[in-house]
Structure 1
Amino acid sequence: MVLRSLLIILLIPVIRVYSQDQVRDTVTQLEEVILYDPIQRNTSLGITPSSIIREKAFQNHSPVDLQSSINQISGVYVLSGALNTNRITIRGVGARTPFGTDKLRLYFNGIPVTNGTGSSTMEAFDLENLASVEVIKGPKGTAYSSSLGGAILLNTKSSERRETRLQTSFTLGSYNLQKNNTLFSLSDEHWVLDLNYNRLRTDGYRENNSFERDGLLLNAGYKFNNDSQISLLVNYIDYTAQIPSSLGATAFAEDPTQAAFTWAQAQGFEANRYTLVGLSYSNKLTDKLKYEHSIFYTYLDHYEPRPFNILDEFTNGYGFRSVFRGNMGKLSRMNYTFGAELYKDEYNWGTYENLYRDNNGEGSLQGEQLSDNKEYRRQFNAFATLHIPFSKAFTAQLGLNINKTVYDFRDLFNIGASSRSARRNFDIIALPSLDVQYNVGKGNSLYANISRGFSNPSLEETLTPDGVINPDIRQETGMNYELGTKIYSSNGKFWMTASLFRMNIKNLLVAERVGDDQFIGRNAGRTRHQGLELDMNLLLNLSNSLDFIPFLSYSLSDHSFVEFLDAGEDFSGNPLTGVPKHRANFGLRIKNNEGFYWNNTFQYVDEIPLRDDNSLTSDSFTVYNTRMGIQKKLGSSFRVNLNAGVNNVFNVRYAQSVLINAASFGGNEPRYFYPGNDRNFYANISLNYTL
């Protein structure tokens, strides 16, 4: 029934449309639009297509639910086991990663925050601090590393008017949820200062599931003149999160609120202190050349008691990103971008015995040291694009990214012949890209892309179970082919984007779990990622005072193993594990000119293959969330927004995240499932005072 409805929606005819550039020039931005391309083009991307979601779309969900907000974009799926346990996949890339997010690049206000092996952490950022989330699907983002999964660009709110403003938001909800976000903003002709403090605490839906986070965000800038400015970014996060871990099918069916037995006994948790400092300077050298330079430093201190051991680690990272943009003199319609990005980090980690069984039920207790390691990691990207408008209707863009990656592993625990120190120096890899865009008259905008991408192996994938770097491990590489269209109505009340894509990936990286904390990394074959993505939005003025805004995103993901041999078994032709074939987000926003709004979203997720042999899948599910509120301006300086919401209205039992190929140890049932929250409630008040 769900698929039949989706097919009907897909067959809706669209007649009158406007091209991307014409819409940006002629259509007034509507605040009601839920998901749309930015009116101000990301100049680093040129004509490369991307998807962007802004603050109005965040209002569809709870202020703590960044995952559901991102899931409104077709082709992007965030599997969330808890607030601190997230895995982002884009077009199926990253679905086989056991834990966390890799194979894509994450940027925060233009600064790369993905570590040296490609791992990204979304929980280090507060949803209420963000103005937009932009997603580049696949490797076509030449200026953003050309990763197979693509890139996600997080952009914070910033003051654009000369004003002094104080804004605070309070949220209370189920599971003893308490959240506060307070912003002080000051700006004048030259200075901009945004200082934000946020605090979040919740007991969580499950046993051993509490989460507590404090954060401080500083955005400061000084504008010397119309051509140059300098800015400072500081983001500090301190959070402690208990870990309930995944459940087997029996435990999930009997009581999804329970934690995995050993994790409950050890009272497993993670404690993190994360700091990002970035300094950026931009300048207009001439009318035809502009540049922006950023330097940054990151620090992460992570402590995680697990049932099998205790992990104690810290990482120092630093680097720069420089981008030049201009046009070619008399050929002023021919634009170019070039630049470079360097990220280096020093990763230090050790493991210790966990003596929780001898601690009288008090949880984890650190014992003797088991390992002591250091790894130096370096990634360098150089990139360039050339934008060539052959005519008013036809435009092309050539791009090239060059990557160099080096890992240097030091074993500080073992000495002599037993030392496992090793160095992995990957060859330079060239990643070209070609975009073309064709506008038909005043209307249809068609685009196509051919691009090459790569993924570096994660730490687990570079090491054998003995902790030795595997000299034969290779980077994943793939070719992406994409054809799409962008459609806008003449009055700006309807838009639609649709794309067909195919990505062929070889040297598939596989991290097979062979023990509690042991993995084997290897290149195991080839995969084919192909599918259809659709996003649409419609504004219906039912009266002078009442608007209906329905919106839809749909993803058809037909991903499969082309060639995959594992432990003597042939899985070629099977669906790719960890990816639902069909996924849809349908929503309806109702608002009037008195400030009332009512947002409704339905998320449908098809069953997910859990094993390479296709012997087990998760159950499909549909979850309905609703949020209702009213926002009012009281006088010339004061605004208030009151709202409340219900998540999982029909109290569906479902797995919000899954593990693939889960192993069974000691005769215990494999643990595949992270339960989603049951029906839960929240209420929020936001106050804004402007001087």
Structure 2
Amino acid sequence: MTRIPLRLTLAALLVAAPALAQEPDSTVSDSVPLYRLEGITVTVTRSQERLDRLPYAASVIDRIQELQATLSLDESLLQVPGVMIDNRHNFALGNRISIRGYGARSQFGVRGLRIIQDGIPLTLPDGQAQLNNIDLAAAGRIEVIRGPASSLYGNASGGVIKIRTASPPPVLFQPEIRLLGGGYGEDRYYQKYDLTGGGRSGGLEYVTHLSHFQTDGFRLHSAAEQTLFNTRVGYQLNERSELEVVINYTNTPFAQNPSSLSDSLARAVPDTARDIVLGPGECPPNPGFGGCQNLGETSKQGQAGITYRRRLGHAHTLSLMGYGLMRELENPIPFTLIQLDRRAGGARVEYRYLPLDGVLAALTAGVDLDHQADDRQEFARDDQGVGAIQLDQDERVTGLGLFAHGRWRLGPRLEVTTSARYDRVRFRADDDLVTATDPDDSGTRIFEQVSPMIGLSYAHSTAVNAYVNVGRSFQTPTTTELTDTLGGFNQRLESEKATNYEVGLKGSVGERLSYTLAVFVADIEDQLILFQPEGIDRDFFENAGSSDHRGVEMGLSALLAPGLTLSGAYTYSNFEFDRFQNQDGDFSGNEVPGIAPHRFHGRLRYEHGSGLTGSLELTASDGFFVDNANQQRNEGYAVIDLRLGYRVRLSGMEAAPFLGLNNAFDGRYNSSVVINAFGARYFEPAPGRNLYLGVGLKTR
């Protein structure tokens, strides 16, 4: 890998050191930031609503870059109860993200959740999303809904994650640079460079972000390189109309895939990889079965969207949105080379009514139309090279959604929220490889669903806001999951459906204490379960008969003293198969694999008027099963991370050096797993103790 020497990066990080005697940033937080509810509005509900009056479990995250490396979404989302994000430390596959168990089956990308960035959907009509075009260094705000989102967004059972690029400063142009370097020891380093520029002038506002990331990875064959560009431009056409354009491009020339390990290897040599994943320069003299096949991926992805909003009177707004996406992927997996050429796009028409008084408090209605076209080819492959074509298939997915969302005032403290959505998702596969021995596997699958929801919220006081909701949700299999072991689409695989019940409390006591509490039950039918057939190191899917999800989510944030805050997020998950029997046995009554019964993330943060900021973070997870039979477990763990930073003002600029120590006590644990993996290779280890240094510089 061509890499800028780390010592040059570290030298750049020390540029700000002589400035430590300059004027400090004396701003100190005097309120609780994380779970503060009063006065906060969100738009993730497709309307503008107060966070404390929502009949859902919802969270808002800001201060995203503070002291963080901004390499992975877990740096922010671990703060949200109910959200499980497992860092695979594998940039070819990305993190494993789930909300209330939805999405846990994913072995790459994201399933079962709706991901939105700057108003443009990152989730495709088949329900899958890729996150490599999200950079936390550019994000200003993240909104999360936990629980059924199908009545709002369709093919999403678990919830919504909405990311908004940071707003530009109120000047014509302000540049900002952020440099980061770190390592895992033994000549394994990573570095990231972020350049941001933005400003405002008249009705124009814009922000542009460019980043470059390189890593050797902490495991053998886990190096990666990525360049990302993102820009958002908004323009106020007149007093009633505004236009916003978003452009995003990501280039990943390589992301090696170290794959998963057996329990014995993960314990003894967590930084190793199996022979079959290794490349030519890493291959041992006598490799195991299959030789060395250099697994990983190369990809390019571009996306652009445009949104037009017009206010029609004092209470009416019409929004029109259109977007397009292209993705090129080359992905060698064991004995197969996958080549994918994707084109996708869509449009949304949305009407919003926000009256100032009356029984009706808000109304949103609209139409979503999305289309996805994948040209997929698969070739036989081994350690000697690429062989004959095995699959040549055109896959088309078209999604149509009609939705309405309303909020009604039943009194000064009582509100009811109703939502309903109709979805029709059509999958079509056209087999372009038809021979005498390989018949035509073309086919069509159509999934239709109506998703209603009703919620009730009661505001007793700012300290006590209670709510309850009931709703239906669904998620279709993705094109990857529908692909049958024999080609074409699996005609037996059905969409997963659920009935969801939730009650909760949330509130703030002055500016010193905020809390959230949610209790939920989900009855799931035809749950999508991953399996790997005997002798095939590849993922396929089947439906479980039914399963029951029961859980409790708690979030707390307290101002202990001026500048000193304590926050915590706890999640209890009791997920079991109610009825599930297949050719491997009867798993009824077993725990759903891949979900820890208990999870906790806590943070103690201190900010001093001198500009000094520090935090101590604890992440703890209970052990959990990794297979349907409940015979293999991933052990629980507890990890402590330390952060320290200093913000100073120089003549005409501001500097913010920072450092982080991850896994401070050098614990050995697995941060992610592969559910039901063939050959008992379930485990994806986490690195031991590792350090990073960084500095942010911007004009003022």
TM-score w.r.t. length of structure 2: 0.88
1:48 deviates by 4.2
Q: Which moved more, 1:33-42 or 1:468-477?
A: 33-42
Following the alignment from structure 1 to structure 2, what is the Cα–Cα distance between the partners of residues 517 and 146? 28
Alignment of 1:680 onto 2:690: yes
- Which of 249, 252, 259 aligns to 1:236? It is 249
Q: Does structure 2 conserve the Cα–Cα contact (< 8 Å) formed by 1:138 and 1:146?
A: no
| Matched residue, 2:606 | 590
1:518 deviates by 5.3
- Which of 99, 102, 113 aligns to 1:104? It is 113
Query: 1:64/1:502 Cα in 2 relative to 1: closer, same or farther (>3 Å)?
Result: same
Residues 216-231 of structure 1 mapped to structure 2, 5 A cutoff: 216-231=229-244
Residues 403-482 of structure 1 mapped to structure 2, 5 A cutoff: 403-415=423-435, 418-441=438-461, 443-482=463-502
| Matched residue, 2:178 | 169
Alignment of 1:510 onto 2:529: yes
Q: Does structure 2 conserve the Cα–Cα contact (< 8 Å) formed by 1:146 and 1:431?
A: no
Q: Does structure 2 conserve the Cα–Cα contact (< 8 Å) formed by 1:460 and 1:521?
A: no
Q: Which moved more, 1:241-250 or 1:515-524?
A: 515-524
Following the alignment from structure 2 to structure 1, what is the Cα–Cα distance between the partners of residues 461 and 34? 27
Q: Does structure 2 conserve the Cα–Cα contact (< 8 Å) formed by 1:313 and 1:348?
A: yes
Residues 596-607 of structure 1 mapped to structure 2, 5 A cutoff: 596-607=612-623
Following the alignment from structure 1 to structure 2, what is the Cα–Cα distance between the partners of residues 282 and 466? 47
Tell me, which stretches of 5 or more residues in structure 1 are unaligned?
A: 1-27, 359-364, 665-669
- Which of 154, 160, 169 aligns to 2:163? It is 154
Tell me, which stretches of 5 or more residues in structure 2 are unaligned?
A: 1-27, 279-291
Give the SS at the match of 1:124.
coil
Alignment of 1:39 onto 2:48: no
- Which of 539, 560, 582 aligns to 2:559? It is 539
Following the alignment from structure 2 to structure 1, what is the Cα–Cα distance between the partners of residues 419 and 206? 36
1:335 deviates by 1.8
Following the alignment from structure 2 to structure 1, what is the Cα–Cα distance between the partners of residues 55 and 303? 29
Deviations 1:1-46 (A, max 9, x none): xxxxxxxxxxxxxxxxxxxxxxxxxxx9967613555812326254
| Matched residue, 1:278 | 305
Following the alignment from structure 2 to structure 1, what is the Cα–Cα distance between the partners of residues 128 and 661? 32
- Which of 333, 343, 366 aligns to 2:370? It is 343
Give the SS at the match of 2:111.
coil
Following the alignment from structure 1 to structure 2, what is the Cα–Cα distance between the partners of residues 683 and 225? 45
Deviations 1:199-231 (A, max 9, x none): 011101011111111011111121112321111
Following the alignment from structure 2 to structure 1, what is the Cα–Cα distance between the partners of residues 178 and 31? 21
Alignment of 1:650 onto 2:677: no
Give the SS at the match of 2:160.
strand
| Matched residue, 1:144 | 153
Following the alignment from structure 1 to structure 2, what is the Cα–Cα distance between the partners of residues 121 and 266? 24
Q: Does structure 2 conserve the Cα–Cα contact (< 8 Å) formed by 1:227 and 1:284?
A: yes
Residues 603-682 of structure 1 mapped to structure 2, 5 A cutoff: 603-635=619-651, 637-664=652-679, 670-682=680-692
Deviations 1:487-523 (A, max 9, x none): 2012x22100001000110012234221536555432
Q: Does structure 1 conserve the Cα–Cα contact (< 8 Å) formed by 2:358 and 2:409?
A: no
Following the alignment from structure 1 to structure 2, what is the Cα–Cα distance between the partners of residues 456 and 323? 24
Query: 1:36/1:489 Cα in 2 relative to 1: closer, same or farther (>3 Å)?
Result: closer
Q: Does structure 2 conserve the Cα–Cα contact (< 8 Å) formed by 1:61 and 1:626?
A: no
CA RMSD of aligned residues (A): 2.1
1:87 deviates by 1.5
Query: 1:571/1:179 Cα in 2 relative to 1: closer, same or farther (>3 Å)?
Result: same
Alignment of 1:70 onto 2:90: no
Following the alignment from structure 1 to structure 2, what is the Cα–Cα distance between the partners of residues 195 and 607? 42
Q: Does structure 2 conserve the Cα–Cα contact (< 8 Å) formed by 1:465 and 1:518?
A: no
Letter in 1 for 2:46: S
Q: Does structure 1 conserve the Cα–Cα contact (< 8 Å) formed by 2:577 and 2:590?
A: yes
1:254 deviates by 1.6
Query: 1:32/1:496 Cα in 2 relative to 1: closer, same or farther (>3 Å)?
Result: closer
Alignment of 1:298 onto 2:302: no
Deviations 1:589-613 (A, max 9, x none): 0111111100111100110211212
Following the alignment from structure 2 to structure 1, what is the Cα–Cα distance between the partners of residues 317 and 213? 40
- Indicate the structure whose relative CO is greater, using CA pairs within 8 Å and at least 6 residues apart: 2
Deviations 1:511-539 (A, max 9, x none): 42215365554322101111110011111
Residues 236-275 of structure 1 mapped to structure 2, 5 A cutoff: 236-239=249-252, 240-264=254-278, 265-275=292-302
1:614 deviates by 1.2
Following the alignment from structure 2 to structure 1, what is the Cα–Cα distance between the partners of residues 323 and 29? 34
- Which of 57, 63, 66 aligns to 1:56? It is 63
| Matched residue, 1:548 | 564
Query: 1:518/1:655 Cα in 2 relative to 1: closer, same or farther (>3 Å)?
Result: closer
Q: Does structure 1 conserve the Cα–Cα contact (< 8 Å) formed by 2:518 and 2:553?
A: yes
Alignment of 1:196 onto 2:198: no
Query: 1:443/1:674 Cα in 2 relative to 1: closer, same or farther (>3 Å)?
Result: closer
1:576 deviates by 1.0
| Matched residue, 1:574 | 590
1:70 deviates by 1.1
Following the alignment from structure 1 to structure 2, what is the Cα–Cα distance between the partners of residues 82 and 292? 39
Query: 1:621/1:456 Cα in 2 relative to 1: closer, same or farther (>3 Å)?
Result: same
Give the SS at the match of 2:128.
coil
Following the alignment from structure 2 to structure 1, what is the Cα–Cα distance between the partners of residues 354 and 79? 36
**Count of residues in correspondence between the two structures:** 645
Give the SS at the match of 1:82.
coil
| Matched residue, 1:689 | 699
Letter in 2 for 1:54: I
Deviations 1:43-98 (A, max 9, x none): 62543435334342543642213223212211111122124222211101122334
Q: Does structure 1 conserve the Cα–Cα contact (< 8 Å) formed by 2:127 and 2:155?
A: no
